[in-house]
Amino acid sequence: MTKAEIVNEVAKATGIEKIAVQSVVESFMENVKDSLVKGNPVYLRGFGSFIIKHRAEKAARNITKKTTMTIPAHDIPAFKPAKVFVNAVKEK
């Protein structure tokens, strides 16, 4: 499902104009991104959590050139679904 499809579905379900729904959806995504950039996770009860995962430094190999390189430690955004969410998908 794309962002446009989400906007259409929410507009249909609520009766709110698509422009207003699109503004809300984009604002939500911007707030989640800003929070994660600051290092703060976002918890949505019954849905899941947007968190930062730390990846340790590791060695990687380029098998075509037969060289080894080091990938530095870094943080990545991740989503961890709530149990209710996981169970709903499993039961499908």
| 4 and 45 in a common domain | no
SS (H, E, C) 9-37: HHHHHHCCCHHHHHHHHHHHHHHHHHHHH
What distance separates the 2 farthest-apart alpha carbons in the chain?
59
Instruction: Give CA–CA dist 56/34, Å, rounded.
Output: 23
pLDDT, tens only, 44-63:
999 999 999 999 999 999 88
Residue 7's Cβ-count burial label (10 Å; 0-12, 13-18, 19+) is buried
The proportion of the chain whose per-residue pLDDT surpasses 90, expressed as a percent, equals 92
| 47 and 24 in a common domain | no
Show the domain range for 34: 1-39
Confidence of residue 92 (pLDDT cuts 50, 70, 90): confident
| 57 and 92 in a common domain | yes
| 91 and 80 in a common domain | yes
pLDDT, tens only, 27-41:
999 999 999 999 999
